[in-house]
Amino acid sequence: MQILYFAWVRQKIGLAEEQVTPPEQVRDVAGLIAWLAARSPGHAAAFADPKQVRAAVNQEFCAPDAPVAPGDEVAFFPPVTGG
Amino acid sequence: MATPTIRVQQDAFDPGAEIAGLAAGRTDVGGIASFSGVCRADDGLRAMVLEHYPGMTERALGRIAAEACARWPLTGCTIIHRVGRLLPGDPIVLVVTASAHRMAALESCAFLIDWLKTRAPFWKHEELADGSTRWVEARAADEDAAARWAAA
């Protein structure tokens, strides 16, 4: 599973992307966040308040209950501020 | 139905040329509306760095433009969004819409910038005069502006 981070989520984690293999019980975005948060202090800081983090699965905005599967591209980032 | 033009680029753009381009070589265009977003020097802003999600950005903008083309009878639609480091006074974003009549052009232009601000993966990072930096926070007013067009 390819994970991408943007904006302050990227800064706190210290990575723009990483390849991960979560255990089978990680089935949705919320579960993935909980699992990723345990990887490092930076991850824990980035995901300390999951409500502040938005997600996209395969480049589509997704809610926390959206399913994730091996091979997906999952991105985490703050609410968008373009325009 | 119009085929939207979507560009995400570091370089500056020429709003006049983009506006003229939607009328060039055709006689069915009766109105062209445009919105230019400019980097504003709030709070001693020295520069702004725009980050985006390559790939998803183009998809999201394409979807927003397609929605505008489905809702209004547009003859043309252009969205250009810059990324990278921009200075106060620099143009950031351009939305241009063309139609046979003004209302479709004006409404769809407002729709596009409202939806772009809440549905396209860009993030602004500000560099202030004192050397500090900060991420721009999403504004509830932008969500409200997007919501007035109702979700599709």
Query: Residue A23 sits in a domain of what CATH number?
Result: 3.10.20
Domain count, chain A: 1
Output phi, psi for A36, to 5 deg.
Answer: -65, -35
pTM greater than 0.90 = yes
Chain A residues near residue B53 by CB distance under 8 angstroms? 4, 6, 56, 59, 75, 77
Q: Within a domain: residue A4?
A: no
Chain A residues near residue B51 by CB distance under 8 angstroms? 6-7
Q: How many CB contacts within 8 angstroms connect chain A with chain B? A: 70
ipTM above 0.90, yes or no: yes
CATH topology of domain B5-147: Aldehyde Oxidoreductase; domain 3 (3.90.1170)
Cβ–Cβ < 8 Å for B5, B69? no
Q: Within a domain: residue A45?
A: yes
Query: Where in the sequence is the domain holding A31, given as residue range(s)?
Result: 16-77
Spatial separation of the C-alpha atoms in residues B102 and B32, rounded to whole Å: 7
User: Between residues B2 and B104, which one has the greater pLDDT?
Assistant: B104
Domain spans of chain B?
5-147
Q: Within a domain: residue A25?
A: yes
- Angle, nearest 10°, between helix axes B102-119 and B56-71? 150
Q: Chain A: give the shortest CA distance to residue B47, in Å.
A: 15
Q: Within a domain: residue A50?
A: yes
Q: Within a domain: residue A35?
A: yes
- Report pLDDT digits (tens) over A7-53: 999 999 999 999 999 999 999 999 999 999 999 999 999 999 999 99
- Report pLDDT digits (tens) over A62-74: 999 999 999 999 9
Q: Find the mean pLDDT for residues B84-95.
A: 97
Q: Are strands B84-86 and B45-52 parallel, antiparallel or unpaired?
A: antiparallel
Q: Considering Cα of A50, then A56, then A61, then A65, what sign does the dihedral take?
A: negative
